[in-house]
Amino acid sequence: MSLRVVSVVLVEPVAVFEFSVAVEVFGITRPEDGIPDLDFRVCALDPSRPLQAKSLAPFAIQASHGLDGVAGSDLVIVAATPIRSDDDYPGEVLDALRSAHAAGATILSLCSGSFVLGAAGLLDGRRCTTHWMYVDAMRRRFPEVEVDGDVLFVDDGDIVTSAGTAAGIDAALHLVRRELGSEIAVRIARRMVVPPQRDGGQAQFVPTPLPECRADSLADLLTWLVDHLAEEHTAASLARRAMMSERTFARRFAAETGTTPHKWLTQQRVLQARRLLEETDLGIEQVADTVGFNSAVVLRDHFRRQVGVAPVDYRRRFAVRSA
């Protein structure tokens, strides 16, 4: 699909974080970063009436468009809202989603927004995910849907569903990367101070508790690593750079990324290899050296495991051609 028009559909009470993910990724002008502006529309059943937010402190969100604004969208985002029975979702909202999908739009649900898609019948016979707390409820409600509760997001082509809360960032950046390319996704991620990509197949639930002191976040280290993938890194060397013991570093890294340093580095190296294959004419051996794999053989092995095709086949399909 081309990605020019993005609409986010709100059903009250609106889950503020998930709505803000849509705005942050798709609805902010960033010309200084070379990121193209999108026609971003906030749509609701009645745009003249402020929408109640899901929050202890009462405040409202004003939509810019009615549901007619969904028409013509390339991407329609369904923000999270408390789960209710299928009949309690506004019928007009469900009709708008069905019409947009039939017209060729890609649909992205964030967290419990997957239940809205289910109520619209858009998930029948498909694979999807939702917040891990709601997986059993979704399986009971929609037995004809294959619900995967162990992943951050599911890309099923024209329908993408994310797990809970922060997984919406991963799904949104994945769509940016899929439609606008790796470089744009990396630029947006850096502005948001988040890793450029977490693997969609990564487990939702991380049993290690998040660190109490957020000033000790590893965001700076992760950003540095993305810029130094060609170098050799070990858990010990990274722990030293983070000024932590190896045990503390391993625990903190798992808490903040949901995986190990080795797996995270491998994911990022493959991601960077994808960008180089798309945007440069470097040979496979050069790509391997640039991203930190010690040979083309190692690159091919990891690339096939994560992407499903060989690097040369990926380049043939996705390389950016000069006009």
| Cα–Cα–Cα angle for 299, 250, 25, rounded to 5 degrees | 65
- Window from 98-102, 107-111, 247-251 with minimum mean pLDDT: 247-251
Burial letters for 58-85: b for 16+ Cβ neighbours within 10 Å, e otherwise?
eeebebebbbebbbebbbbbbbbbebee
Maximum CA extent, the chain:
60
Share of the chain above pLDDT 70, in %: 92
pLDDT for residue 3 is more than 50: yes
Overall fold of domain 5-184: Rossmann fold (3.40.50)
CA 225 to chain CA centroid, Å, is 20
User: What residue spans of the chain are helical by DSSP H?
Assistant: 16-26, 91-102, 113-119, 135-141, 167-180, 182-192, 219-227, 235-241, 246-257, 261-279, 284-291, 296-307, 311-318
260 contact partners, CB below 8 Å, separation of at least 6: 235, 250, 253, 254
304-315 tens-digit pLDDT: 888 878 999 888
- Window from 13-27, 112-126, 218-232 with minimum mean pLDDT: 218-232
Distances (CA, A) of 64 to 50, 125, 144: 10, 34, 35
pLDDT for residue 145 is more than 50: yes
**Separation of alpha carbons 235 and 238, rounded Å:** 5
Residues across the chain: 323
Comparing CA positions, the residue from 196, 188, 174, 181 lying closest to residue 33 is 188
**Separation of alpha carbons 107 and 96, rounded Å:** 11
285-309 tens-digit pLDDT: 999 999 999 899 999 999 988 887 8
176-205 tens-digit pLDDT: 988 888 788 888 988 888 866 665 555 554
* Mean pLDDT, range 274-278, rounded to an integer: 88
In the chain, residues under CATH classification 3.40.50.880 are 5-184
> Which pTM does this prediction carry?
0.70
In the chain, residues under CATH classification 1.10.10.60 are 211-323
* pLDDT confidence bin for 26, thresholds 50/70/90: very high
In CATH, which superfamily holds the domain spanning 211-323? Homeodomain-like (1.10.10.60)
Q: Which two tokens stand for residue 176?
A: 């940016």
Q: What are phi and psi of 259, to 5 degrees?
A: -150, -175
When the pLDDT of each residue in the chain is averaged and rounded to a whole number, the result is 89
130-141 tens-digit pLDDT: 999 999 999 999
